[in-house]
A and B are shown apart, each in its own frame.
Chain A
Amino acid sequence: MGSATFADDFRRPGMLHATILRSPFASARIDGINAEQARALAGVMLVLTADDLPGGGPAIPMRLFSQPGMEEYLQRPLARAKVRYVGEPVAVVVAESRYVAEDAAELIEVDYEPFEPILDPLVALDAGAPRVHEHTDSNVAGAIVISNGDLDDAFDRAALVVEERISCQRHAAVPLETRGLAAEHDPATGELTVWGTAKLPHVNRRILAQLLNWPAERLRLVELAVGGGFGARGEVYPEDYLVPYCAIALGRAITWSEDRGEHLQATNHSREQVHDVALALSEDGTFLGLRDSFVNNTGAYVRTHGMVVPGMSAALLPGPYVWGAYHCEARQVVTNKTPGGTYRAPGRYEVNLVRERIIDIAARKLGIDPIEIRRRNLIQPEQIPYASGAHTDGNPVIYECGDFPLLLEKACERFGYEDAVRWRREAVKREQRRGIGVSYFVEKAGIGDYEYARVELARGGRVVVHSGAASVGQGVDTVLAQICADALGVLYEDVEVRHGDTRATPDGMGAFGSRATMLGGAAVSQAAACLRERILELAGRELEADAADVELDGDRLAVRGAEERSLSLAELTERAAAAEAQAGSNEPGLSEEAWFQCRDMSFPYGVQLAAVEVDEETGSIDVVRYLVAYDIGRAVNPMLVHAQLVGGAAQGFGGALLEELSYDGDGNLVSSSFMEYLMPTATDVPDVDILVTEDAPTPLNRLGAKGAGEGGAAAVGATLANAVSDALGVEVTRLPLSPSHVAELVRQSTATQ
């Protein structure tokens, strides 16, 4: 229809336009800024640099997983005295049109003294390396060590030890809608409204109120249509402070929207990790110990996610296997690249690659089939719930449900693993090399302690759900309406879902970490169940029957066995209102609210299998068959679960084959448009087969549902790297598997034959 309102579709009368002047240098001292010409340009209303902001502008805080000392690495809205990455905001311009604002930005003269940038996170670790933040004593912003079992003993006893450096390249969420927002200050009410928020409206209101030194109760955040989130959209970025700040300063409505080039430089990057991993095994392939030391290149500043990405990596590197001993050292390293944060399956896409690759490397050396070596080492159903010994942000990782061997068998059967192995061996054209890849992974879902819901039976019989969860374009409205309809006993069509307005919903967490169905859905289910009780009780009173004898079917309430005694939901609301008015009751209408609390995360799991043909001449990879098998516990809406897994897998293919945020030696982002940053088109991704199982419902919520958002993406890099290694007989140790990278692997392969 084209009727949805996305951020840049939103307009207010007399609205002004903001644009950001960004640093062209990866590392430079700012010796002076002259904005006189820009301020003098007709149509320009405001130009601000860091010196114009209170205290030079506040540091944007971490909202999760912080460590002492990390605040030294936080970003301020505008660079003060030094820029640390290409794209860092230096000034904000507000003008009558975006065209004029961009003209004015070009007139701002900034006197830069550039320095040699640090781009490689391993170089950044050197004791003699210059520091990205000169007031700190290290480029390591945070560190985690997880250690359990006797690692030395495991490696001493091993029949085989394999060691490898395995890395994942920098890439990012890149939703098709770039970030944008609008802000307006109404002097009459004193209210500041920000439109275009996403993911975390209520959390961001608290953060923004603190940054702007503005009372939270007079700050309203409103979600508009959201053109994809995937972890990156909806965090508090410099612009989320600057645009409202300018709106207050000018007393005018202001809109801002980044262009694609800005998006690629300014919105969170992710996934850049380098691992030194070692696996100790006995002769029969039993895993004795896993040792890993890795760096996560988080770019120039620590943003809102703190240690989340390396933390998730360290917590889920063990996967679904029993390890005699596990030791992992993680370091969050700063460099002169765009700051980082989460992207769908954050930290897991990377470590699934590392773990599943090193297992295959070992299996090949031992001559054990890749499925068989996994089968021998899986955690068994009777060991569940299983404490893996890892932890994240102080919380132990406990796989609360699961039958890992069962899913592996089901996945192999669905994929036709035996047939695939035969297909691989069949004589083919010499230049077409065939390979099979498998990976097994444990996901995490349902992060964020609680969610809020209120379910209301409105006058006229319509059911309205007010949820604290958020939409990022994933279909949460549909799921919440379904859950409400189920729990209440009404028709799906009669349920309306509202969310994403901090004025209309008192509380909430949002949509991230595959949580909206698990926590948002559980809260809705709980509130709807309470409301159902109240409705039946009221109907019983009206129909002069026991509440237990009243049945709700669609929009009609009737007494069981005496169906002529009935009334509609609409009639019930009318009578309830009349009764209340008569009684002079102050009790609100027919409405129930619930906060669903859940401190524990859920751990869904999956298997991915691929059959590929590698073209030796062109270096291209043809994915002949691909399977994502995933245990969801309970699929509230199978079509949406399917869509999440397929869509996630497509992003995984992008990361495995195409996408890379690459930099030149001066720290310029080379892939700064869609000409260089290649996202998969319809011809780049295969048809993905999806096997959703419901063998292990989670006990953590009344639905039994686990998150679906990330399992499609989580292991595509791992699976394709294993398949290509199998096809070529050489070990893939980095992504993406671009044609030039594959051509290099083919050369290695030919040389070793």
Chain B
Amino acid sequence: MTRTVAVTINGATFEREVEPRLLLSDFIRHEAKLTGTHVGCEHGVCGACTVQLDGTPVRSCLMFAVQASGHSIRTVEAMADGGSETRLHPLQQAFHEEHALQCGFCTPGFLMSLEPLIPALVGASDDEIREAIAGNLCRCTGYQNIVSAVRLAAKRFDAQHGTNGSATGPE
């Protein structure tokens, strides 16, 4: 038994015949071949599989692909300019500069969770930043450099857009 799903991922539409039980994370990784979305626990705790569904971060391991049919998804691959390694998204650039990753497995989930939050984190305290990232697990960094990266990204966002500016989220 299969169903037709059509999901728009990073602007491209992927139409496939899939079993209803196929997880959205597996659809993204193995049907759309976008393996930047990682799977760390398969029950929504670690946050590594986080993607944005119509602009809102969701755990792609907790959804079936059929539930995402007709929706628009953004994954980590869309962040850097044209997927390039040289023109990073400001948030990625901040992670890079602050050494906010070691093995990098959890990083896409952090980026997807944080991207819409950056405008709201302008001027946030470290405790508030820690609260904001508490839904994602990292086993390597101890989070300290991730907090620094978020602080830097929020500061740069503020410099570019102004406090309380058009804080409607990127893109």
Contacts and interface: CB of A to CB of B under 8 A. Distances in A.
Interface in B128-145: 129-131, 133-145
Contacts of A226: 103
B39 interface: yes
A688 B85 contact: no
Nearest to A654: B139
Interface string B8-50: 0000000000010110000001100011111111110110100
Interface stretch (B62-70, B72-80, B155-163): B72-80
A237 interface: no
Nearest to A177: B105
Contact of B29 (A9, A227, A682, A687): A9
Contacts of A228: 102-103, 105, 139-140
B35 A2 contact: yes
Contact of B105 (A176, A640, A682): A176
A472 B103 contact: yes
B152 interface: no
B170 interface: no
A683 interface: yes
Interface in A678-721: 679, 681-683, 685, 687-688, 712
A457 to B, nearest CB: 25
Contact of A176 (B21, B129, B138): B138
Nearest to B131: A683
B123 interface: no
Contacts of A1: 36, 76-77, 79-80, 83, 85, 88, 92
Contacts of B21: 99
Interface stretch (A276-284, A595-603, A643-651): A643-651
B43 A260 contact: yes
B133 to A, nearest CB: 5
Contacts of B169: none
Contacts of A4: 104
A475 interface: yes
Interface in B82-114: 83, 85, 88, 92, 99, 102-106, 108
A647 B83 contact: no
Nearest to B145: A643
A225 B104 contact: yes
Nearest to A259: B42
Contacts of B106: 176
A178 B40 contact: yes
Contacts of B126: 687
Contacts of A640: 99
Interface string A163-191: 00000000000111110000000000000
Contacts of B142: 646-651, 685, 688, 712
Chain A contact residues: helix, strand, loop or mixed: loop
Query: Which among B42, B43, B102 has the greatest number of chain A C-beta atoms within 10 A?
Result: B102
B146 A682 contact: yes
B102 A475 contact: yes
Given A1-B80, A1-B85, A2-B75, A683 B29 contact: no
B145 to A, nearest CB: 7
A551 interface: no
B48 to A, nearest CB: 6
A720 B88 CA distance: 40
Nearest to A475: B102
B147 interface: yes
Contact of B144 (A473, A474, A675, A688): A688
Given A2-B35, A2-B76, A679-B139, A473 B130 contact: no
Contacts of A227: 38, 103-105
A210 interface: no
Nearest to B137: A679
A585 interface: no
Nearest to A646: B142
B102 A260 contact: no
Interface size class of A (residues with CB under 8 A): 35 or more
A6 interface: yes
A213 interface: no
A674 B137 contact: yes
Contacts of B105: 6, 175-177, 225, 227-228, 473
Nearest to B22: A99
Given A3-B36, A647-B140, A682-B143, A674 B41 contact: yes
A8 B30 CA distance: 10
Interface in A1-20: 1-6, 8-9, 11
B146 to A, nearest CB: 7
B41 A260 contact: yes
Of A259, A674, A675, most buried by chain B (CB within 10 Å of CB) is A674
A648 B144 CA distance: 12
A751 interface: no
Interface in A526-556: none
Contacts of B79: 1-2
A174 B29 contact: no
A673 B141 contact: no
A127 interface: no
Contacts of B85: 1, 3
A639 interface: yes
Contacts of B34: 2
Given A176-B139, A682-B134, A682-B143, A674 B39 contact: no
A230 interface: yes
Nearest to B132: A682
Interface string A243-261: 0000000000000000111
B35 A5 contact: yes
B121 to A, nearest CB: 13
Contacts of A475: 102
Residue among B104, B129, B136 with max Cβ neighbours from chain A (10 Å): B104
Nearest to B92: A1
A187 B171 CA distance: 51
Interface in A618-653: 639-640, 643, 646-651
Contact of B43 (A9, A648, A674, A688): A674
B130 A175 contact: no
A3 B105 CA distance: 11
Nearest to B101: A473
B24 to A, nearest CB: 14
Contacts of B39: 8
A176 B136 CA distance: 11
Contacts of A712: 142
A674 B46 contact: yes
A643 B102 contact: yes
Interface of A: 1-6, 8-9, 11, 99, 174-178, 225-228, 230, 259-261, 472-475, 639-640, 643, 646-651, 673-675, 679, 681-683, 685, 687-688, 712
Given A2-B34, A175-B103, A228-B102, 17 more contacts: A1-B80, A2-B108, A3-B83, A6-B105, A174-B139, A175-B139, A225-B105, A227-B103, A227-B105, A228-B103, A260-B42, A261-B42, A474-B140, A681-B136, A682-B146, A688-B144, A712-B142
21 contacts: A1-B85, A1-B88, A1-B92, A2-B79, A6-B105, A99-B19, A175-B139, A176-B137, A176-B138, A226-B103, A230-B139, A643-B99, A647-B139, A647-B140, A649-B142, A650-B143, A651-B139, A673-B41, A674-B41, A682-B130, A682-B147
